[in-house]
Amino acid sequence: MTATASPPPQEASVPDAPSAGHAPLDGIWLGLDLGTQSARCVAVDGTGRLLAAASRPLAGHRDGVRHEQDPEQWWTALSAACREALGGLDARRIRGLAIDGTSGTILLADTTGSPLTPGLMYDDGRAADQAATVNEAGGAVWRELGYRSMQPSWALPKLRWLLDHDAAASGAGVRLLHQVDLITWRLAGQQVASDASHALKTGYHLVEEGWPHKVMAELGVPDGLLPDVVRPGSILGTVCAEAAAATGIPEGTALVAGMTDGCAAQIGAGALEPGSWNSVLGTTLVLKGSSPHLIRDPAGVVYCHRGPGESWLPGGASSSGAGVLSQHFPGADLERLTEQAAALDPDAVAYPLVSTGGERFPFRAPGAEPFILGQVPTRAAEFHAYLLGVACLERLCLDYLDHRGAPVDGPLTLTGGGARNRYWCRLRAEVLGRPVRLPEQAEGAIGMAVLAATSSGAGLQEAAAAMVRIGAEIRPSPDRTARYLPVYLRFIDELTRRGWLDQAVADHARRRAAQ
């Protein structure tokens, strides 16, 4: 099928300046990010201008389902990144910092903050038996909190694994630390509270704002093992002299409680007003949004973080996404394939499953497998089918979130590696039938700089409005959306026919499409 003569989506540049009514936040704000492969520091001013950035690599060890890192490496890498980034700045203007890390990554430490175990990483899956025990003991609480059950990679099952298998866990004064807790301890010179975002996967009760002591007692987790917890955005303390010498961050700089990496990226994209969403297209697709109320999902597909203030941050992580391109087109010239695919504009659609372990969002189907609907006679046609499949899956994610009572009609930002393909962004806008925004620089470290700026007294939405720069907005034309609607309906019909997508969800998606 050839391209239609309909007009392309409109694309508008957005001014760099902060929104009217938001005076620049004075000073320099630091965002620190601990990812899987690197530790990063960025320095941002109150208008969102990136002043400096630096990173250092991180290395891990994988053995089957196990994935570990040396926690001391987190500190040395982050310290080096900070020294490089801050070397040319006026240190007197640095006012605050916040840090994000990978969700569910934990270790045990002694009373001085020295690690006793490796860091068990966010995707370490060794605790399958312990997850069953954790869900039996705490299932009622997990359902109340909206996520129904914990996965083996979550922090609490891994903590129970350490208690079962590591002799260090039985020592006097042992402390559980989330990944960022080690860094905040070093920065402050003493143990400070953990943030509720990182504590979520350890079983912290986000509604009652405390540890579920009855569940922890049944699991044999001593109270003294668990950290105090505060909401993200709370001031934990200040940077001590020893940490200042190691990092170059001035002594006395405010240390602000951060969030997990996914929430940090959401803040960096400015998706904070109720109903707004950030769609992160990397190897897999992750959607993070903002809601004035907790979203409870009986299927356990969506779960909520608690944001600063009274906000809730619902989200879901798919097992599908842009990773299918490296799987099916290794070594290919993706820019050339994109040009060829855009010229063809075919309507074949592929289910872009990346994982061999099935799907987890917007439906849970351990037996799910990839498929293609329609003819793909050329590599370019096949490539387009995967681009279109991601867009259809993205629309289904938003339909599912709406089905579960999450507000979804606010601004939508696109970030992640997939957002660098401008044709793909336009295609996604067309399938979704809604404008999409492309931030200039959306990353977790930027989000943490924005969160750090709230220590000045500004609200998070106010800080984001001043500091997050939107580079462009893509507006789809209605006839292009109408062209892809039958493709989307065919896509959800096939998912339903295969028994993966619940009929009630498919019906809800059809009703929304008919509106």
> For residues 448 and 99, is the Cβ–Cβ distance under 8 A?
yes
Task: Tell me: do 104 and 151 sit in the same domain.
Answer: yes
Task: Tell me: do 289 and 236 sit in the same domain.
Answer: no
**Which stretches does DSSP call E strand in 214-265?**
229-230, 235-238, 254-256
Is there a domain that residue 462 lies in? no
Residue 343 in this model has a pLDDT that exceeds 50: yes
3-state SS string for 85-109: HHCCCCHHHEEEEEEEECCCCEEEE
| Domain count within the chain | 2
Q: Given 213, 241, 261, which residue is the final one in a domain?
A: 261
Is there a domain that residue 451 lies in? no
The number of CA neighbours under 13 Å toward the Cβ of 510 is: 13
Q: What is the pLDDT of residues 354-381, one digit of tens each?
A: 988 899 899 999 899 999 999 999 999 9
Rounded Cα distance between 359 and 301, Å, is 10
Residue 172 in this model has a pLDDT that exceeds 90: no
Is there a domain that residue 168 lies in? yes
- CATH number, domain containing residue 305: 3.30.420.40
455 CA to centre of own chain? 23
Specify the higher pLDDT residue, 515 or 181: 181
Q: What is the pLDDT of residue 310?
A: 81
Q: Given 240, 261, 282, which residue is the final one in a domain?
A: 261
Residue 132 in this model has a pLDDT that exceeds 60: yes
Mean pLDDT of the chain: 92
Task: Tell me: do 67 and 190 sit in the same domain.
Answer: yes
Mean pLDDT of the 24-50 span:
93
Task: Tell me: do 233 and 304 sit in the same domain.
Answer: no
Q: What is the pLDDT of residue 171?
A: 80
Is there a domain that residue 463 lies in? no
Rounded Cα distance between 236 and 230, Å, is 9
Q: Given 221, 236, 261, which residue is the final one in a domain?
A: 261
Rounded Cα distance between 108 and 166, Å, is 10
Q: What is the pLDDT of residues 445-457, one digit of tens each?
A: 999 999 999 999 9
Task: Tell me: do 285 and 139 sit in the same domain.
Answer: no
Q: What is the pLDDT of residues 260-309, one digit of tens each?
A: 988 998 999 999 999 999 999 988 899 999 999 999 998 889 989 988 77
Is there a domain that residue 1 lies in? no
At 15, the pLDDT band (50, 70, 90 cuts) reads very low
Give the structural domain span for 387.
271-434+479-514
Q: What is the pLDDT of residues 230-243, one digit of tens each?
A: 999 999 999 999 99
Task: Tell me: do 197 and 330 sit in the same domain.
Answer: no
Note the pTM of the prediction, 2 decimals.
0.85
Complete DSSP assignment for 252-285: T-EEE---BHHHHHHHHHT--STT-EEEEESSSE
Reading the block at residue 10, the tokens are 């409109």
The secondary structure of residue 117, as a DSSP letter, is S
Measured at the CA of 162, the angle between CA 69 and CA 359, to 5 degrees, comes to 70
Q: What is the pLDDT of residue 24?
A: 54
Among candidate residues 181, 227, 236, 200, the one with its CA nearest the CA of residue 103? 200
Mean pLDDT of the 248-269 span:
95
Measured at the CA of 287, the angle between CA 282 and CA 290, to 5 degrees, comes to 145
At 4, the pLDDT band (50, 70, 90 cuts) reads very low
Residue 209 in this model has a pLDDT that exceeds 70: yes
Task: Tell me: do 278 and 182 sit in the same domain.
Answer: no
Q: Is 439 exposed, middle or buried (0-12, 13-18, 19+ CB in 10 A)?
A: buried
The percentage of residues in the chain with a pLDDT greater than 90, rounded to a whole number, is: 84
At 334, the pLDDT band (50, 70, 90 cuts) reads very high
Q: Distance between the two ends of the chain, CA-based, in angstroms?
A: 27
Task: Tell me: do 250 and 307 sit in the same domain.
Answer: no
**What residues pair up with 277 in beta bridges, in sequence order?**
289, 412
> For residues 453 and 30, is the Cβ–Cβ distance under 8 A?
no
514 CA to centre of own chain? 31
Among candidate residues 498, 296, 271, 284, the one with its CA nearest the CA of residue 403? 296
At 18, the pLDDT band (50, 70, 90 cuts) reads very low
Specify the higher pLDDT residue, 219 or 311: 219
Helices (H), 360-406: 379-403
User: Which of helix, strand or coil describes residue 197?
Assistant: helix
Task: Tell me: do 248 and 391 sit in the same domain.
Answer: no
Is there a domain that residue 319 lies in? yes
Specify the higher pLDDT residue, 392 or 12: 392
Residue 21 in this model has a pLDDT that exceeds 90: no
Is there a domain that residue 184 lies in? yes
Specify the higher pLDDT residue, 17 or 64: 64
